[in-house]
Amino acid sequence: MEHGVGYFIQIPGHPSLLIAGDTILTPELIAFIKTHQPDVIVAPAGGAQFDIGGEVIMNASDMVEIAKLTQGAVIANHLGAISHCKVTRADVLNAASRAGLEGRVFAPDDGETLTFD
């Protein structure tokens, strides 16, 4: 698979936002999060996997790892979006709960709006 693409948006007076494209948790992404400390991170957590090879996007445990790298909020997306994304919202929220990260890791319902100050 090719390189993932993401966006870091930082506007004075607003929370900074990292939107991670379809990617796994790479050393480069870890270093970026540690350095920039985004207030909000949106990352793919569906654990998408094809018939061969490993996962092509992150999973529930990766959301926990990201949350441990920053004090910001982590929002999981790509959950149940397509047939090869097997990770559910419950998987993400349960992993966050086991790690003591309730209230920092989110797996919003379709159409749900989250607001961050």
Q: Is 5 helix (H, G, I), strand (E, B) or coil?
A: coil
Instruction: Please report the beta strands in the chain, taking only residues with DSSP state E, as ranges in sequence order.
Output: 6-9, 17-20, 40-44, 73-77, 105-106
Among 12-16, 53-57, 65-69, 92-96, the minimum mean pLDDT is found in 53-57
May I ask the CATH class of domain 6-106?
A: alpha beta
Q: Is 98 helix (H, G, I), strand (E, B) or coil?
A: helix
pTM: 0.91
* Domain spans in the chain, listed from the N-terminal domain onward: 6-106
pLDDT digits (tens, 9 = 90+) for 54-85: 776 888 999 999 999 999 999 999 887 666 77
- DSSP class of residue 22? S
